[in-house]
Amino acid sequence: MHKDLVSIDDLEPEEIFELLESGLELKKKRALGIVEPVLQGRTVVMIFEKPSLRTRVTFEVGITQLGGQAIYLQGSDIGLGHRESIADIARNLERWVDGIVARASSHQTVVELARWADTPVINGLTDREHPCQALALAMTLREKKCDLRGLKFAFIGDGNNVAHSFMLLSPKAGMDFVIACPEGYEPDKQITEQTKDLAARFGTSFSIVRDPFEAVKDADVVYTDVWVSMGQESEAVEREKAFRSYQVNRELIDSAEREVLISHCLPAHRGQEITDEVLDGPGSIALDEAENRLHIQKAVMARLFA
């Protein structure tokens, strides 16, 4: 396995499935009260430039459950890239800690941390990717569907960081992927081309469509995310107008003509990208996915930091 988890691109298909099985095993052991102190005597620093509930709590709890110790630093505490260069911060941290988790505004920040630190680095979210979120959903689908291969994954909404990680993961996991988004809000062109190449390599399909009803037809999984991500607040009015017809609601879900699993990376803007009826409905696995963030991240940390 690669030294770091900066992108889903760092993982080969067999490594993804190994992590999923490890996450499921760690979850089972936790339920039975079995302790896995693989990080005993290890210290992990968590650098967060952005607010967080799920990412911070699941990483910090996960480090504790594995017997390690977490140090939480806000970006302002160290002036990442301002008070001190990222290279210097990385080269200092590698002398003290056994792992780095970084939730950064810019993807390049995490790339640079991984470049300069011999200590392994995990991406806890950037403007380009959210690999731990993608792995958490994959683990949840493994629980619910057993086999990911052959599933159709429909993403409704903005071609953002979360969509990027799902795009890169889907072909490696054997899933077909379709994203429905308005013109001008497509995924990154480089990641789109990379996903097309992966789909051709692994025998899956990938497409970008405008009609959400077309996207969800025969889907097994329907996913959405906020229309206005952190840092895009100035675009809120324009974005809400552009995405108005991309709400995941009962009408859209019923049009799939089959039972589908529905999820959201959270936090959700209820009544915008998704309705209460759907998010709280029987097909929703959003909270299961949030729970599995803890266990899949433990699997990643056990692999990289132990």
Please give the chain's pLDDT, 306 residues, in tens: 789 999 999 999 999 999 999 999 999 999 999 999 999 999 999 999 999 999 999 999 999 999 999 999 998 889 887 889 999 999 999 999 999 999 999 999 999 999 999 999 999 999 999 999 999 999 999 999 989 999 999 999 999 999 999 999 999 999 999 999 999 999 999 999 999 999 999 999 999 999 999 999 999 999 999 998 877 788 889 999 999 999 999 999 999 988 999 999 999 999 999 999 999 999 999 999 999 999 999 999 999 999
> Looking at the domain assignment, is residue 1 inside a domain?
no
Our count of domains for the chain comes to 2
Q: Which residues of 96-124 are buried (b: 16+ CB within 10 A; e: fewer)?
A: ebbbbbbbbbebebbbbbbebbebbbbbb
Spatial distance between the Cα atoms of 94 and 113, rounded to a whole number of angstroms? 10
Q: Is 32 in the same domain as 163?
A: no
> Looking at the domain assignment, is residue 3 inside a domain?
no
Q: What is the pLDDT of residue 249?
A: 98
Q: Do residues 176 and 184 touch, judged by C-beta distance below 8 A?
A: no
> Looking at the domain assignment, is residue 244 inside a domain?
yes
Active-site residue identified among 56, 158, 239, 265:
265
130 is catalytic: yes
Active-site residue identified among 54, 132, 225, 272:
225
146 is catalytic: no
Q: Is 139 in the same domain as 41?
A: no
Strands (E), the chain: 43-48, 69-74, 99-103, 121-125, 152-156, 176-180, 206-209, 221-224, 261-264
User: How many angstroms separate the Cα of 161 from the Cα of each of 15, 227, 242?
Assistant: 21, 12, 18
40 is catalytic: no
Q: Which domain holds residue 296?
A: 8-130+292-304
Q: Is 137 in the same domain as 247?
A: yes
Q: What is the CATH number of the domain that holds 43?
A: 3.40.50.1370
DSSP state of 5: B
Q: Is 254 in the same domain as 154?
A: yes
Active-site residue identified among 54, 107, 127, 133:
133
Here the tokens at position 168 are: 């890169």
103 is catalytic: yes
> Looking at the domain assignment, is residue 99 inside a domain?
yes
188 is catalytic: no
293 is catalytic: yes
> Looking at the domain assignment, is residue 256 inside a domain?
yes
Q: Is 184 in the same domain as 117?
A: no
Q: Is 233 in the same domain as 298?
A: no
Question: DSSP 3-state assignment of 126?
Answer: coil
